[in-house]
């Protein structure tokens, strides 16, 4: 596993590159990240990488029912 992830207090790089009203908090580590679309559970790229490593590359972010 990656051990070089920055601390959650540090925003995800994607959050710095997107529009400010598209910034949300990662559902897992609460760092600022790019929110893809309205609602849903944003994951920062670090958590998303961990999730896709766990569940496979085909996993997609799915809205919670
Ligand atoms: Zn995260």
Q: Which domain holds residue 11?
A: 1-65
Q: Tell me how far the alpha carbon of residue 63 lies from the centroid of ligand 1, in angstroms.
A: 16
pLDDT score, position 58: 66
Q: Tell me how far the alpha carbon of residue 42 lies from the centroid of ligand 1, in angstroms.
A: 8
Q: Could you tell me the two tokens for 23?
A: 């910034």
Nearest to 32 by CA among 62, 6, 1: 6
pLDDT score, position 55: 78
Q: Tell me how far the alpha carbon of residue 28 lies from the centroid of ligand 1, in angstroms.
A: 5
Write out residues in the chain with pLDDT < 70, as ranges. Answer: 1-3, 36-40, 57-65
Q: Tell me how far the alpha carbon of residue 26 lies from the centroid of ligand 1, in angstroms.
A: 5
Q: Could you tell me the two tokens for 49?
A: 């990488």
Phi, psi dihedrals of residue 13, rounded to the nearest 5°? -55, -30
Q: What Cα–Cα distance (Å) separates residue 58 from each residue in 4, 51, 54?
A: 24, 11, 11
The total number of structural domains that make up the chain: 1
pLDDT score, position 29: 92
């Amino acid at each position: 596993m990656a051990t070089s992830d920055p601390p959650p207090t540090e925003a995800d790089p994607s959050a710095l590159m997107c529009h400010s009203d598209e910034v949300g908090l990662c559902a897992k580590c609460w760092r600022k990240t790019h929110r893809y679309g309205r609602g849903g559970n944003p994951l920062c790229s670090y958590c998303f990488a961990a999730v896709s490593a766990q569940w496979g590359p085909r996993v997609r972010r799915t809205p919670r029912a």
